């Protein structure tokens, strides 16, 4: 696997409409497009770029589009806004060059070998300055509300940025002062769907739930997310709100380390469907999808398949299909392993199985998992997606999950590994134990 294929490994071999070739790369707000030397101007016309995409980076000189013109979505009063572009590249901590080691497989004299692997982080470098920030906040919090108004004022006065907030937050700001008339928002769901064409950076003020809410807003590409910790547990919120000016100043300058948090794409297929292509609207989850027995007193009975191969029949309270970012959430409580968020995989974790030998699995990221309620099931099953949007699954219905092609890029305070380890130490007190005394019996 070459360096480019490694970055997009979680997105290949998916649905035909979203399949990603190893000859593609990430650009700007995390979308995947074919390699190109063209840039698209704010009027939607292509321009040949004189710069090359770089031999060792993942760069872009295009403004992102969904196959249609979106220049009208970038217009704010009296000003034409062009989305900021950035470059993603591998970086090896502590090394002068980030290209010394590559994840490749070589074949020489009949022997298959892999090159020495390095601890690489993904670095984001702005190629044009960010101009628009979306701020999402936890509701019903006085502390968050005060911080939001202070941050909006600072970003406008010190950084001259365009600010988007939710309609609820704009109303709160205008209730406090008419100064915030410049703050922008949206009026309907169609405008929400096009936010990724306007926003360069998303700032969340809250806990992990606010990050989940931000990811849920973007049904496709997601701009880089900067999560500030104002909640109870913060596995995905490494930034402390007390120092937001220093953090945002550094992030807006760049470069920054990011974690690509993969999402699952879920489809419900009803028994009445004529084919597997006849599905309900797809749902994206950042943590997990849970299939459980709901209020039924009967065991869940779920037939599970992986790429059309039978896996097992779950008999118990239910099943969790989790991303690696969600490995510290419900899956952990059900006995699943904690997994680094940049490990590409899908966690297969049973909930209270009525079996002594049913252990959790971690499956590769490229598989498609199908969970079917058999016709001989005594009751219905219920599916919930990141803890909400519960759907009833009757006998004959199925839920199909695969890795989504749009990850959630979250900024790191230091790097993804350090942030992950700090979160499980501080959030879970992982392996906290009093150190054994050094005085006592010793080996001779």
What does the DSSP assignment read for 304-325?
EEETTEEEEEEEEEEEEEE-SG
pTM (2 d.p.): 0.78
The pLDDT score that the predictor gives to residue 71 is 42
Is 439 an active-site residue? no
DSSP 421: H
Confirm if 322 and 330 have CB atoms less than 8 A apart: yes
Quote the tokens at residue 413.
């305070």
Q: What is the pLDDT of residues 372-402, one digit of tens each?
A: 999 999 999 999 999 999 999 999 999 999 9
How is residue 8 written in tokens?
Answer: 């997009």
What b-and-e string marks burial along 133-157, b requiring 16 or more CB atoms within 10 Å of the CB? Answer: bbbbbbeeeeebbebbbebbeebbe
For the chain, the farthest-separated pair of C-alpha atoms sits apart, in whole angstroms, at 82
Secondary structure of 334-376 in HEC code, one letter for each residue:
CCCCCCCCCCCEEEEEEEEECCCCCCCEEEECCCCEEEECCCC
C-alpha distances out from residue 434 to 7, 425, 426, 430, Å = 40, 14, 16, 12
- Residue 162 neighbours by CB distance under 10 Å: 22
Q: What is the pLDDT along the chain (444 residues), one digit of tens a residue?
A: 443 344 334 333 443 344 333 334 444 444 433 333 444 444 444 444 444 444 444 443 333 334 444 444 344 454 556 788 888 887 765 545 444 444 456 666 667 766 655 457 889 999 999 999 999 999 999 999 999 999 999 999 999 999 999 999 999 999 999 999 999 999 999 999 999 999 999 999 999 999 999 999 999 999 999 999 987 778 999 999 999 999 999 999 989 999 999 999 999 999 988 887 788 889 999 999 999 999 888 999 999 999 989 999 999 999 999 999 999 999 999 999 999 999 989 999 999 999 999 999 999 999 999 999 999 999 999 999 999 999 999 999 999 999 999 999 999 999 999 999 999 999 899 999 888 888 878 787
Which residues have a Cβ under 8 Å from the Cβ of 381 and sit 6 or more positions away?
A: 291, 292, 293, 294, 300, 302, 318, 373, 392, 393, 397
pLDDT at 205: 96
pLDDT of residue 104: 55
Q: Which of 139, 138, 173 is nearest to 156 (CA)?
A: 173
Would you call 109 exposed, middle or buried from its count of C-beta atoms within 10 A (0-12, 13-18, 19+)?
Answer: exposed
What is the per-residue pLDDT across 238-282, written as a single tens digit (0 to 9) for each?
Answer: 999 999 999 999 999 989 999 999 999 999 999 988 887 788 889
**Residue 260 contacts residue 342 (beta carbons within 8 Å):** yes
**N residues, the chain:** 444
Supply the DSSP string of 91-105, one letter for each residue.
Answer: EETT-S-TTS----E
pLDDT score at 425: 94
E strands in 36-161: 38-40, 46-48, 57-58, 75-76, 79-80, 86-92, 105-108, 111-114, 120-126, 132-137
Would you state the pLDDT for residue 52? 42
Of 29, 70, 98, 208, catalytic: 208
């Amino acid at each position: 696997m070459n360096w480019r294929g490694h970055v997009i490994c979680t997105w290949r071999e998916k649905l035909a409409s979203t399949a990603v070739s190893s000859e593609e790369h990430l650009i700007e707000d995390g979308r995947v497009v074919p390699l190109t030397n063209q840039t698209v101007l704010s009027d939607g016309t292509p321009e040949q770029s004189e710069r090359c995409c770089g031999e060792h980076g993942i760069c872009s000189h295009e403004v992102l589009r969904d196959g249609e013109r979106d220049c009208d979505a970038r217009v704010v009063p009296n000003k034409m806004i062009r989305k900021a572009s950035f470059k993603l590249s591998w970086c090896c901590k502590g090394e002068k060059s980030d290209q010394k080691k590559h994840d490749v497989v070589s074949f020489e004299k009949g022997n298959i070998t892999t090159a020495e692997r390095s601890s690489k982080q993904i670095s984001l470098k702005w190629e044009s300055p960010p101009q628009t920030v979306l701020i999402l906040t936890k509701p019903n919090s006085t502390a968050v509300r005060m911080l939001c108004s202070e941050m909006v004022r600072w970003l406008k006065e010190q950084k001259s940025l365009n600010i988007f907030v939710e309609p609820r937050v704009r109303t709160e700001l205008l209730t406090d002062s008419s100064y915030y008339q410049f703050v922008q928002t949206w009026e309907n769901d169609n405008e929400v769907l096009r936010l990724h064409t306007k926003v360069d950076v998303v700032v969340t003020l809250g806990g992990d739930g606010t990050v989940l809410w931000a990811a849920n807003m973007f049904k496709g590409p997601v701009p880089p997310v900067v999560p500030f910790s104002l909640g109870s547990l913060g596995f995905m919120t490494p930034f402390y709100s007390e120092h937001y000016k220093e953090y945002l100043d550094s992030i807006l300058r760049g470069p920054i380390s990011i974690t690509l948090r993969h999402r699952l794409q879920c489809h419900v297929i009803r028994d009445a469907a004529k084919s597997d292509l006849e599905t309900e609207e797809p749902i994206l989850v950042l943590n997990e999808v849970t299939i459980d027995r709901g209020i039924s007193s009967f065991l869940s009975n779920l037939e599970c398949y992986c790429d059309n191969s039978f896996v097992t029949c779950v008999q118990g309270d239910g099943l969790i299909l989790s991303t690696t970012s969600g490995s510290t959430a419900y899956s952990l409580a059900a006995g699943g392993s904690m997994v680094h968020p940049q490990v590409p995989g899908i966690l297969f974790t049973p909930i209270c199985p009525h079996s002594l030998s049913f252990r959790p699995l971690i499956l590769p990221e490229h598989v498609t998992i199908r969970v079917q309620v058999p016709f001989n099931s005594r009751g219905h099953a219920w599916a919930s997606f990141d803890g909400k949007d519960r759907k009833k699954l009757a006998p004959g219905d199925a839920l199909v999950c695969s890795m989504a092609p749009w990850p959630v890029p979250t900024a790191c305070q230091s790097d993804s590994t350090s942030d992950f380890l700090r979160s499980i130490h501080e959030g879970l007190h992982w392996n906290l134990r009093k150190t054994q005394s050094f005085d006592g019996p010793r080996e001779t």
